[in-house]
Amino acid sequence: MTNTNNTPLVKILAVDDSRVMRRAISKILSKQYTVIEAEHGEDAWSLLQHHDDIQIVFSDLSMPYLDGYGLLERIRTSTDEHIAALPVIIITGKEDDDTAKMEALDKGANDFIAKPFDKAQLFARAQSHIKFEQTSKKLSETAEKLEKQATIDELTGLGSQRYFQKAADEQLSSLIRHKGHCCFLRINIDNFNQLFIKHGKQVADEIIQNIGHCLNQHVRKEDMAARVGLAKFALFLNHTSLDKAEKLAQRIIDEIPTRKLTTKNFTFTASAGIFEPEINKKSRFTDIYARTEDCLQQAISEGGNTLVAYSDKPVLEIEPPESLTIEQAIQLLEQGESDKVKPHLEKLYSQLKPLLLLFTQLLKK
């Protein structure tokens, strides 16, 4: 059913084991709303599962199979956010004392209406709670939209600067706790201000979108990429060695000049800076980000279309070669230096063999 504007009428669920009461509710409200009837709580619960457009529930307390208290509890504990937030108005009779009403309130009732009710009273209750529910929904949608705008860059689909700082800081805290490693990568479009002035905003926006698309193609799910300025981008590369970060960054800056624009036919380039921090309890996002920025600025000062990388991690020296320990071997593997570990596998295995034998014995028990 629709109104004169061809928009669907608000749907109301009336739950009462008395057919007379259900008919009375429908008669009063059906001129302005669509009313669905249910004979008891189980019937009402089933209807709620199949009608996601129900916006208010009128329910009696005393009913067979599932009473009003049980229905209320199911609604308020539902995993469906729409159902859990539905306004529920309890229809009370003479047999329902104050204790019954208090119990209904404790289980999440929004309001009460006493039998016998008149047309104005029932209609007013329906109208006020529906308006409240609709207003709450709009506020929730607005808040969700604002939150999304705060974390997603609309032009590229990448994260925003705010998102990157918060998410990278959280990831860094996790790496500190679990002794992990990472690399930060900063990318700037070379000479972007001149490109903007010469070709205009439309072309500038397409360049930025191009870079965003490029980064989305190359970044793994466990990494984070964001637009952190007009023509500035940042990546947090989780559990990535400097060597692998350099290879990724080089692929990106090599690909950028090959990307085509639909509005103009010219090439553009980008510069990149990578910093691999030594993760410890003193590690701070702002410090690491600043060091990454230093690497980027060096690349820009060298003429652009350049990559500069630096690691703060101590170089693992293995002297003499036969002194390689298990801990050193693990560090080398984390740094992507598996070739330096291979010559020592036999000795490392002899060190691990007793532990492996014990582990095998425990598995057999």
Classify residue 191 by its DSSP letter: T
Q: Is the pLDDT of residue 36 over 50?
A: yes
> What is the reported pLDDT for 53?
87
Note if the bond before 321 is cis, omega within 30 degrees.
no
Domains of the chain: residue spans and CATH? 11-148 (3.40.50.2300), 161-311 (3.30.70.270), 321-364 (no CATH)
Cβ partners under 8 Å of residue 150, min gap 6: 160, 162, 163
Determine which of 42-46, 318-322, 337-341 has the lowest per-residue pLDDT on average. Answer: 318-322
Q: How many CB atoms lie within 10 A of CB 36?
A: 18
Helical ranges in the chain per DSSP H: 19-29, 41-50, 68-76, 81-84, 98-106, 119-151, 161-178, 192-199, 201-218, 242-255, 285-301, 326-334, 338-341, 345-364
Residue 289 sits at the vertex; the CA angle it makes with 283 and 291, to the nearest 5 degrees, is 85
* 124-153 pLDDT tens trace: 777 777 776 666 666 555 555 545 456 788
This prediction's pTM: 0.51
Confidence band for 103, pLDDT divided at 50, 70 and 90: confident
* 321-354 pLDDT tens trace: 566 788 888 888 888 788 888 888 888 877 877 7
Mean pLDDT of the residues in the chain: 85
Instruction: Kindly calculate the radius of gyration of the chain based on its CA atoms and give it in whole angstroms.
Output: 32
> What is the reported pLDDT for 319?
46
Q: How many CB atoms lie within 10 A of CB 57?
A: 27
Instruction: Please give the single-letter amino acid code of residue 69.
Output: Y
> What is the reported pLDDT for 331?
83
